């Protein structure tokens, strides 16, 4: 027998305003990101791939599966994205020295360079949103 669903909380006007503003700030930052990456000759997904390789916790490489999770994408689409980034000499595939079945995705010098430039611009963009880009405390939403 399935557990009973928790009772849905009624939302008031202010709750919708908080959610709307949060989504607006996310979209505003995404649009900024899309524009700045395209100005540097990359697609937004190419930038995110490079960012997730460099920013993967605990190491400077990631597997296709890990990148698919970070990008919230299908593995076959990520493989195609990696191939496009390889052609641009931003990344390379390397067989793991620890597990020959595992393929690691590593940044190359050109990828590091463009990623560093874009990450600095993104950091500045995020800092400009300080105080505006706040995750709402949904626990504080009005309870009916």
Reply yes or no on whether the pLDDT at 94 is more than 90.
yes
Record the pTM.
Answer: 0.82
Residue 76: both structure tokens together: 């076959």
Q: pLDDT tens, 51-66?
A: 999 999 999 999 999 9
Contacts of 16 (CB under 8 A, 6+ apart): none
Q: What are phi and psi of 103, to 5 degrees?
A: -105, 125
Reply yes or no on whether the pLDDT at 137 is more than 90.
no
The better pLDDT of the pair 141, 56 is held by 56
Reply yes or no on whether the pLDDT at 142 is more than 60.
no
Structure confidence at residue 1 as a pLDDT band (50, 70, 90): low
Reply yes or no on whether the pLDDT at 13 is more than 50.
yes
pLDDT of residue 144: 44
Distances (CA, A) of 73 to 4, 62, 139: 32, 15, 30
Domain locations along the chain: 15-135
> CATH for 15-135?
1.10.10.10
Judge contact between 78 and 68, C-beta under 8 A: yes
Reply yes or no on whether the pLDDT at 133 is more than 70.
no
Residue 56: both structure tokens together: 């993967």
Is residue 97 packed enough to be buried (19+ CB in 10 Å), middle (13-18) or exposed (0-12)? exposed
Judge contact between 129 and 25, C-beta under 8 A: yes
The better pLDDT of the pair 52, 17 is held by 52
Reply yes or no on whether the pLDDT at 136 is more than 70.
no
Nearest-10 crossing angle of helices 44-54, 64-71: 120
Is residue 67 packed enough to be buried (19+ CB in 10 Å), middle (13-18) or exposed (0-12)? buried
Average pLDDT, the chain: 89
The fraction of the chain above a pLDDT of 90, given in percent, is: 63
The better pLDDT of the pair 118, 4 is held by 118
């Amino acid at each position: 027998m399935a557990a009973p669903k928790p009772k849905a909380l009624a939302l008031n006007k202010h709750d919708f305003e908080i959610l709307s503003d949060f989504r607006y700030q996310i979209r505003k930052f995404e649009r900024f990101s899309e524009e700045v990456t395209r100005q540097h000759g990359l697609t937004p997904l190419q930038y995110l791939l490079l960012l997730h390789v460099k920013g993967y916790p605990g190491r400077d490489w990631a597997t296709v599966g890990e990148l698919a999770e970070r990008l919230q994408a299908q593995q076959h689409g990520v493989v195609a994205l990696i191939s496009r980034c390889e052609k641009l000499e931003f990344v390379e595939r390397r067989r793991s020295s620890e597990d020959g079945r595992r393929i690691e995705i590593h940044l190359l010098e050109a990828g590091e360079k463009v990623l560093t430039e874009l990450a600095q611009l993104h950091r500045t963009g995020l800092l400009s949103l300080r105080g505006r880009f706040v995750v709402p405390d949904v626990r504080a939403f009005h309870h009916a």
